[in-house]
């Protein structure tokens, strides 16, 4: 569905979206945003700016009070629930509260998106082990996620979102509980997915994550866009072995 979507049209298209929670809490206001297929976008802003709300609209967990949210050309508010479920198989989401099943093991949690997509068991085993190795939690494979530290849980949530090689990955504060080294690993995974064609939207207030990257950044404040940086505006090179350095684009 999303993988075969046209490259010429935005994969995510939000038009004048407003979300008001009862009784009268305005989470986002009149937001318009287009994300191209294969793009990596940072959604930044302080806590409570509306980043999570925007991501929830993109994966149809919430519906906008006003405006339109389209993913893969489908208006999510008007799409059949069965089609939404199909769409979700191509969207990986890293939730701020992880949403793991504490009584199930790390393997079972990560395998879940692939099982609902009826992937072959051998393929599932292979992919899960690959992700565990990448995120340095192979030794926790058969441990219940309820017994892990927050940092480990976060890595499991990241692995689950990436498991199905999604066409669209939405990450809500993916490195909030991670040390700088592990954060680098995570960004490495994101970049790998990006190279494979995944569209990524990463919501984070961690400046270290998006500073000096070559990627577009939009900033939210009190539910409104305040800054919309193109790759051209980002100037500083990135240090560190995983990123290499990115020169300023004039």
Partner 1 sequence: MGLKSYFHLKQVGHNFRQNWPTQLMTLLTITLSVLIFSFFLLIYLNVVNLGEQLGDELRLVVYLDNEVAPALQPLLRDKITAYAKVDKVLFISRAEAYSRLQKQLNKEKDLLADLGPEFLPPSIEVYPEKSLHSFSRLKEFSDLLATLPGAQKVQYGQEWLERFGYFTELLRVIVGLSGTLLILATGFMVSCTIRLTVVAKESELEILRLVGASNRYIQSPLFFEGTLQGLIGSALGLILLYTIFIWTKTHLGGPGLLNLLQFTFLPATTTALIIGGTTLLCAWGSLLSIRKQMRI
- Contact residues toward partner 1 (CB under 8 A) are 59, 61, 82, 85-91, 93, 99-101, 104, 112-113, 115-118, 120-121, 160
Nearer to partner 1, 85 or 226 (CB): 85
Angle at 222 between CA 66 and CA 67, to 5 degrees: 10
Cβ proximity to partner 1: between 10 and 113 the closer is: 113
90 or 219: whose CB is closer to partner 1? Answer: 90
CA dist 63 and 56 (Å) reads: 8
CA dist 167 and 164 (Å) reads 9
Question: Is the four-CA dihedral 58, 61, 67, 71 of positive or negative sign?
Answer: positive
Minimum separation from the CB atom of position 250 to partner 1 (A):
42
Query: Rounded CA gap, 163 and 125, in Å?
Result: 11
Residue number with CB closer to partner 1 (100 or 171): 100
* Minimum CB–partner distance for residue 128 and partner 1 (Å): 14
CB atoms inside a 10 Å sphere around CB 16: 12
Contacts of 166 (CB under 8 A, 6+ apart): 90, 91, 92, 193, 198
Smallest separation, CB 100 to partner 1 (Å): 8
Task: Closer to partner 1 by CB, 26 or 143: give it.
Answer: 143
Task: Name the burial class of residue 176, with classes exposed (0-12), middle (13-18) and buried (19+) by CB atoms within 10 angstroms of its CB.
Answer: middle
Q: Write down the least CB distance from residue 24 to partner 1, Å.
A: 27
Instruction: Supply the minimum distance, in Å, between the C-beta of residue 245 and partner 1.
Output: 36
Which residue, 109 or 213, is less far from partner 1 as judged by CB?
A: 109
Residue 169: CB minimum distance to partner 1, A: 13
Contact 161, 95 (CB under 8 A): no
């Amino acid at each position: 569905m999303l993988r075969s979507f046209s490259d010429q049209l935005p994969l995510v298209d939000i038009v004048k979206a407003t979300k008001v929670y009862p009784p009268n809490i305005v989470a986002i206001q009149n937001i318009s945003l287009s994300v191209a297929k294969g793009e990596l976008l940072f959604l930044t802003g302080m806590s409570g700016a509306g980043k999570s709300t925007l991501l929830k609209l993109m994966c149809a967990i919430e519906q906008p009070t006003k405006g339109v949210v389209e993913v893969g050309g489908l208006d999510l508010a008007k799409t059949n629930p069965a089609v939404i479920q199909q769409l979700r198989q191509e969207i990986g989401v890293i939730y701020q509260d992880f949403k793991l099943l504490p009584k199930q093991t790390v393997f079972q949690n990560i395998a879940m998106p692939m099982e609902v997509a009826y992937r072959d068991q051998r393929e599932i085993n292979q992919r899960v082990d690959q992700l565990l190795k990448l995120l340095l939690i192979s030794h926790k494979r058969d441990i219940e996620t309820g017994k892990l530290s927050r940092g480990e849980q976060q890595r499991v949530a990241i692995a689950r979102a990436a498991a199905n090689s999604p066409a669209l990955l939405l990450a809500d504060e993916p490195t909030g509980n991670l040390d700088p080294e592990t954060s680098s690993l995570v960004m490495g995974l994101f970049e790998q997915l990006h190279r494979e064609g995944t569209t990524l939207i990463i919501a984070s207030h961690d400046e270290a994550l998006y500073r000096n990257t070559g990627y577009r950044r939009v900033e939210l404040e009190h539910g409104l866009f305040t800054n919309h940086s193109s790759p051209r505006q980002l100037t500083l090179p990135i240090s560190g072995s995983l990123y290499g350095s990115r020169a300023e684009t004039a």
